[in-house]
Amino acid sequence: MLRGSHSDRLQSRVPARLDRLPWSRFHWLIVVGLGVSWILDGLEIQIVSSVSPVLQNRATLGLTSVDVGLVGTAYLLGEVIGALVFGRLTDMLGRKRFFLWTLLLYLVASGLAGLSPTLWVLLTFRFLAGAGIGGEYVAINSAIDELIPPPHRGRVDIAINGTYWAGAMIGAALSIPLLNPHILPINVGWRLSFFIGPFIGLVIIYVRRFIPESPRWLMTHGRLEEARRTVAEIEQKIRARGVKLDPVPNSKATAVTGHGTVSYSEIARTMFRKYPSRSFLGLSMMVTQSFLYNSIFFSYALVLAHFYHVAPDHIGYYFFPFAVGNLAGPLLIGNLFDTVGRRKMILFTYGTSAILLAVSAWLFHQGVPSMPPRRRYYGAQYFS
């Protein structure tokens, strides 16, 4: 560590030492330990979508279509507020502790949602579960930016975010037996569905115990010596596996200002005054993908149930093609974001999705596929 030109600054090689690390077991630990959050989010949205027709039955909560929409809205609102609140707290108090706190909040709230006796209790716990997942998003993306080396950062980001659809596949598969009235009572299966995520999350808590605090966060909060020790421990584990690490020259040292937490007003000024075009791009991308993945998918099961007369225990089958395609995308083209470039690939993927959505809308407008006749047992079992 070198003294800078200003008395309040230090020069540190910690960022350069992190960025020059080869892919190792440590990086797999980050991917597995943090990627589960996207799996849980995909699982949650899939479960809510699948159980929505069941929740309209008088034997369950007897919700209306508007009520079902409110359940989805409460979850998304929780995600937004959770990201803002926990994002601020992770900057103040550290990444590592919130890897556990936000996951625990989700585990407890999601499990309690399955025990809800009324709509308002369900809305409350869905909001809290969403807040936990929103906080998870902050921790995940911070860890990717701060712990993954630049040559792998793009594909790791895409791969981790793509695991959302692994969660959707799990939720779709398990909803088939859980929502089958011939296997479980109608007021039991939907409740058990909300315990799938907490069960997976409990396994991941153990893995997260071994994820260290971000050395970059430690640096910006004046804990430079602790940041150095953390990087040294990571390097030692990599060397223990026979990997030779070249020393980092002093010329690659980075200035550490120690500003720590950044205020919301400073973030807003940076986004909308210094980088307005980049901020608009990011916001437009988030809005468009959220419209498809959240807005449409929350009502997808209701459309299948009410207009195409698909039984709730069969709805999971209709999610599989979309989930498989989304999960395969990062595996097939994820590396192109690091080789071809982010800008070209964003234009290609979003443009292709827009064309396919337009074609799908036209097909539905033309009545393709057509609606089959309603099955008598379906109405009796689920909408009595």
pLDDT of residue 116: 92
Q: Which helix (H) or strand (E) holds 335?
A: none
pLDDT digits (tens, 9 = 90+) for 289-329: 777 666 666 677 777 777 778 887 787 788 778 778 777 77
Q: Which residue has the higher pLDDT, 173 or 374?
A: 173
Q: What is the DSSP string of 5-61?
A: SSTT-EEESHHHHHHTPPS-HHHHHHHHHHHHHHHHHHHHHHHHHHHHHHHTSTTTT
Chain mean pLDDT for the chain: 80
pLDDT at 223 over 80: yes
Determine the Cα–Cα distance for residues 312 and 180; give it in Å rounded to an integer: 8
Closest listed residue to residue 147, CA positions, set 29, 13, 10, 9: 29
Determine the Cα–Cα distance for residues 257 and 40; give it in Å rounded to an integer: 36
pLDDT digits (tens, 9 = 90+) for 69-107: 898 889 889 988 998 888 888 878 877 777 788 888 988
Determine the Cα–Cα distance for residues 384 and 379; give it in Å rounded to an integer: 7
pLDDT at 119 over 90: yes
Least confident of 185-194, 291-300, 324-333, 339-348: 291-300
Determine the Cα–Cα distance for residues 344 and 104; give it in Å rounded to an integer: 39
Q: Which helix (H) or strand (E) holds 3?
A: strand 2-3
Most confident of 101-105, 144-148, 161-165, 313-317: 101-105
Determine the Cα–Cα distance for residues 179 and 188; give it in Å rounded to an integer: 9
pLDDT of residue 45: 78
pLDDT of residue 371: 56
Q: Which residue has the higher pLDDT, 2 or 229?
A: 229
CB distance 149 to 97 below 8 Å:
no
pLDDT at 9 over 70: no
Residue with tokens 């609102």: 77
Domains along the sequence of the chain with CATH: 13-245+290-382 (1.20.1250.20)
Q: Which residue has the higher pLDDT, 353 or 373?
A: 353
pLDDT of residue 96: 79
Least confident of 94-98, 106-110, 270-274: 94-98
Distance, C-alpha 301 to centroid of its chain? 21
Q: Which residue has the higher pLDDT, 122 or 212?
A: 122
pLDDT of residue 295: 64
Task: Report helix angle 150-162 to 164-178, nearest 10.
Answer: 20
Q: Which residue has the higher pLDDT, 287 or 292?
A: 287
pLDDT at 358 over 60: yes
Pairing of strands 2-3, 254-256: unpaired
Instruction: In the chain, count H helices and then E strands.
Output: 18, 3
Residues 234-251 have a mean pLDDT of 85
Q: What 3-state class would DSSP assign to 255?
A: strand
Least confident of 5-19, 169-183, 319-333: 5-19
Determine the Cα–Cα distance for residues 286 and 289; give it in Å rounded to an integer: 5
